Structure 1
Amino acid sequence: MRTIHGQILTLLVLLLPALAAAGTLDDYYLARLVPGYAGGGSAVTGVVAKKALNHADRSLTMVRHAAKRDWSQLEPATQKVLAKAMALPTLTGERVCVPVGGHFTIHYATSGTDAPALADLNGNNVPDWVETIAGVFEYVYSVEVTQMGYQPPPGTTYHVYLQSLASQSAYGFTDDIYSPSLPPGTSTGSYITIDKSFTDPVYGSYTPLESLRVTAAHEFHHAIQFGYNYYFDPFYAEMTSTWMEDEVYNSVNQLYNYLPSYLPNTDTIALNQAINSTDLSEYGRWIFNRYLAELDGSRTVVRAFWVQLGAMPVPSNHADIPALPVLNQVLNQNLGNNFFGFAKRVFLRNWTTHVGDVSLIPPVTVPQARTFPAHLTVQGPINALATPYTFAYYKYLPSSSDGQDLAITFPGLSSSLAVSAFKVSTAGTQEYQYNAGTQSIVVPAFTSDATVYLLVCNNGNGDMQTPVALSFPADGATTLDGSTLVNGTPLDANALAIPAQPPIPVTPVVSSGGGGGGGGCFIATAAYGSYLHPKVALLREFRDHYLLTNAPGRVFVACYYKMSPPIAHFIARHEVLRVITRLLLTPLVFAVEHGMLTLALLVGCLAAFVAQQLRLLRRRASAH
Structure 2
Amino acid sequence: MNHKSLIKEATLILLVSVMLIAQPIPASSTNGMNQTPKKSYIFRTDYQTLNSSLESIEVTFYDQGLADRFRDMIKENPELIKNVLMETIDVKKGATISDLKITYIGLDSPEEPLKVTVTFKQEGPLFRETVDGVYYADGRLMSSSVEVKVEYYVTLPPGYSAKHVTPKADLTMEDGRTCLRWEVKSGKTEQYYFELTKIKVRNLKLYRKTHDTINFEETNTFTVHDEYVVASVEVLDGTKTDELRWVFTGPNNIMYEDSYMLRKEGNDFYGCTLILKNYCQHCIVGSWTVTLYVNGLKALETQFTVEEAPAQSLIRIVDHALCKNVENGEPVDVTSTFTSGDVVYCWLKIQDGRVGDHVYWLYTGPFMANASYFLEWNGDGVCYSTFDLSVYDPKTVVGEWTVTVYVNGEEVLTDYFEVEEQPKSWPCIIATATYGSELADEVQFLRGFRDNLVMSTFAGSRFMRVFNAWYYSFSPAVAGFIAQQPILKAAMKTILYPLIGILHLSSSTYSVFSLYPELGVVIAGLVASSLIGIVYFSIPLMALWRTTKKYRRKLSKLRLFKIMVALWMASVVAIIVGEVSHSSFIMMSSTALFVLSTIPLAVAFLYRVFRPFFAKVSKRIEV
Normalization by structure 1: what TM-score? 0.24
Structure whose CA Rg is larger: 2
Which structure features the higher share of helix residues? Answer: 1
Structure number with higher relative contact order (C-alpha < 8 Å, ≥ 6 residues apart): 1
